[in-house]
Amino acid sequence: MEDIIIKYKDTIEKVIEELGKCRRELETKGREKAIALSNYDRRIAITIVSLRDGDLLKIGEREIKQLPVSVMEKVAKGICRDDRLAMDVAESGYKACITNIQVLMVQLSAYQSIYRHLELG
């Protein structure tokens, strides 16, 4: 019985250690997400101003010079699609990290509950 208690205690310590790693990773992912969002917003703003000013821009092989104001934002989003992809990937990594932490917390709670019952039993 003592071996089982020690096993659960060690498992709890490992999960706590893993939670610490995930917390640090979440900080990194949060920073990456914020940078990607900032880059996308900046790029969209620059692109819209360029479109409004009549600057020559390219989407693939097509050159765009004059556009109606009503479609500028949609066209700007198309031009900035790579920045949007980077932003979405960063957000996905951030959310995955949060999910990992939640799963680890549930596991920790379960192991702690089992440990208490073994210790009292």
Q: Please state whether the predicted TM-score (pTM) of the whole model is above 0.85.
A: no
| Structure tokens given for 117 | 């019952």
Q: Which residues fall within 8 angstroms of residue 81, CB to CB, at 6 or more apart? A: none
Distances 20 to 17, 77, 96, 97, 116 between C-alpha atoms, Å? 5, 38, 16, 12, 23
pLDDT digits (tens, 9 = 90+) for 62-108: 888 788 889 999 999 999 999 999 999 999 999 999 999 999 999 99
Beta carbons within 10 angstroms of residue 55's beta carbon: 12
pLDDT digits (tens, 9 = 90+) for 18-52: 999 999 999 999 999 999 999 999 999 999 999 99
